[in-house]
Amino acid sequence: MPGPDLIVRNVLWQDELVSLWIEQGVVRRLAPPDEPCSEGEQLHGGGALLLPGLIDAHVHLREPGFEYKEDIASGLEAAARGGFSAVLAMANTRPVNDSAAVTSFMRDRAAATHPLGPRLHPVGALTKGLVGQELAPLAELAEAGCVAFSNDGLPVASPDLFRRAMEYASDLGLVVIDHCEDPVLAEGASMNEGRISGLLGLKGQPVVAESMQVARDILLAEYLDLPIHLAHISCRQSVELIRWAKARGVRVSAETCPHYLLWTEEMVQGYNTLAKVNPPLRTDDDVLALRQAVREGVIDILVTDHAPHADHEKEVPMDEAPNGISGLDTALSLSWKLVREGVLSPQDLCALWSARPGALFSLPVNRFQPGDPADFILFNPDLEWTVTPETLRSKGKNTPCLGQTLPGRVVAHGIAGKILFHNVDAS
């Protein structure tokens, strides 16, 4: 038996100091920390937490078409630094990812700019041009490498077309991800409809704009006996519908983002466009419901909905500002805040950010079992950092975290046993 190529020494895995032995890109085993071995490269972890490489099932990388906001190179750099070994990139590019040419372009750009990873998995458009009129060529997209389909950003209003899309996608074995939003109820809104929107004089988006569509999708999924994945859930009513559906055995899965677990509509006070996101930040009660749902597994996974924008686009009055928070750089630190607050355990993080998204989208996952892909990060939870435009690797500096000090830094990242970076001083 040949020796390991790489040994990551002195790292914490489930409260125990271990070393991770890696061989030909896969995990060989977790060994006692000081088990001698003279072969292979040695990397000293300095007691940092060992976590699997994270999977972000919902990002917007903006290339092709909006490279001034973000491009595949900068987006994957932010993903790498943020601890993500794989990302699913949404289709609302220009041109829209509704053809094999665009899918291939995205994958080629990723391979060219980040040959070691993070891995980019394109999500194909559900309808041509995301217009919601005709099905996109889903088989062509699947063949070109798309791992799921979604009209994210421009949800399909027609229940009939949406049904047909679910049916057609199921033949290809791929899941449909729906951005749940009734476009009429949500029209023109720039924040949650409620007390603050009333005071600020802004048009609000009612929670039913989301939950009505959640209900539609659940009922369709049950009727068709097909899976559906619900994107960025933001409110209690949606959570209750999903809990009900799961109890009935409906094949529904759901995601939410760190920002819906931490912040409320109060963040918009002062017309803070950095907190303008779709769906909007809701209320304390919604945050409580989502936290519980994430703990219980009613919400299956966490995603960033990484939505970078240029500064000048956010430096406008609230109504004009585009929706979105740049999330890849800060996601793990924000998640760690939830660990510190006792909302989640480190094991929950591994499930929410790695095992379950991997299972949902049929991607390889590292559980540190022999033969698992050696995608891992070393995370120092005691290291604090201040969020500034300079500390963010994404081109999008649009986050309400600007100026805040967050806990935890990724100090090393390996994908398939190859080290992307190792900042030993930081550990």
CB of 412 to Zn ion, least distance (A): 32
Residue closer to other proteins by CB (options 80, 189) is 189
Q: Which helix (H) or strand (E) holds 175?
A: strand 175-178
| Residue 312 contacts which entry, Zn ion, other proteins, none (Cβ below 5-8 A, type-dependent) | other proteins
Residue closer to Zn ion by CB (options 179, 397) is 179
Q: How far is CA 49 from CA 388, 407, 411, in A?
A: 25, 13, 10
Query: Pattern of binders to other proteins over 59-98, x per CB under 8 A?
Result: ----------------------------------------
CB of 58 to Zn ion, least distance (A): 7
Site for other proteins in 231-270 (CB under 8 A): 270
Question: By CB under 8 A, which span of 55-63, 85-93, 121-129, 310-318 interacts with other proteins?
Answer: 310-318
**Residue from 39, 134, 296, 320 in contact with other proteins (CB under 8 A):** 320
Residue closer to other proteins by CB (options 167, 315) is 315
| Residue whose pair of structure tokens reads 């799961």 in the numeric block | 246
**Residue from 37, 288, 316, 424 in contact with other proteins (CB under 8 A):** 316
Ranges of beta strands (E only) in 284-340 are: 301-302
Burial, 25: exposed, middle or buried (Cβ in 10 Å; 0-12, 13-18, 19+)? middle
Residue closer to other proteins by CB (options 36, 188) is 188
| Residue whose pair of structure tokens reads 């491009």 in the numeric block | 71
Angle at 21 between CA 56 and CA 44, to 5 degrees: 85
| DSSP letter (8 states) at residue 2 | P
Tokens of 374: 């050696």
| Residue 244 contacts which entry, Zn ion, other proteins, none (Cβ below 5-8 A, type-dependent) | none
Helices (H), 227-283: 236-247, 258-262
Q: Is 272 left (phi over 0), alpha (psi -120 to 50) or beta?
A: beta
Residue closer to Zn ion by CB (options 187, 382) is 187
| DSSP letter (8 states) at residue 25 | T
Minimal CB distance to Zn ion: which residue? Answer: 179
**Residue from 15, 160, 247, 312 in contact with other proteins (CB under 8 A):** 312
Residues 351, 398, 59, 119: is their CA dihedral positive or negative? negative
Tokens of 192: 């949650």
Should residue 389 be labelled a site residue for other proteins when binding is judged by CB under 8 A?
no
CB of 390 to other proteins, least distance (A): 22
Question: By CB under 8 A, which span of 20-28, 65-73, 150-158, 318-326 interacts with other proteins?
Answer: 318-326
Q: What is the C-alpha separation between 261 and 268, in angstroms, rounded?
A: 16
CB of 312 to other proteins, least distance (A): 7
Residue closer to other proteins by CB (options 108, 319) is 319
> Site for other proteins (CB under 8 A): how many residues?
21
Residue closer to Zn ion by CB (options 218, 257) is 257
Query: Pattern of binders to other proteins over 188-207, x per CB under 8 A?
Result: -----xxxxxxxxxx-x-x-
The answer to whether 242 touches 170, Cβ cutoff 8 Å, is no
| Residue 179 contacts which entry, Zn ion, other proteins, none (Cβ below 5-8 A, type-dependent) | Zn ion
Backbone φ, ψ for residue 217 (5° rounding):
-65, -40
The answer to whether 239 touches 290, Cβ cutoff 8 Å, is yes
Burial, 349: exposed, middle or buried (Cβ in 10 Å; 0-12, 13-18, 19+)? buried
| Residue 194 contacts which entry, other proteins, Zn ion, none (Cβ below 5-8 A, type-dependent) | other proteins
The reply to whether 305 belongs to the active site is yes
Catalytic residue among 56, 217, 305, 329: 305
| DSSP letter (8 states) at residue 373 | B
CB of 204 to other proteins, least distance (A): 5
From the list 275, 387, 259, the residue with the least C-alpha distance to 334 is 259
From the list 343, 424, 334, the residue with the least C-alpha distance to 378 is 424
Residue closer to other proteins by CB (options 151, 190) is 190
**What angle, 0 to 180 degrees and rounded to 10, lies between the N-to-C axes of helices 159-171 and 207-224?**
50
Question: By CB under 8 A, which span of 16-24, 28-36, 311-319, 329-337 interacts with other proteins?
Answer: 311-319
Residues 79, 83, 89, 90: is their CA dihedral positive or negative? negative
CB of 232 to Zn ion, least distance (A): 5
| Residue 152 contacts which entry, other proteins, Zn ion, none (Cβ below 5-8 A, type-dependent) | Zn ion
* Contacting positions for other proteins (CB under 8 A): 193-202, 204, 206, 270-271, 312, 315-320
**Mind telling me the catalytic residues?**
305
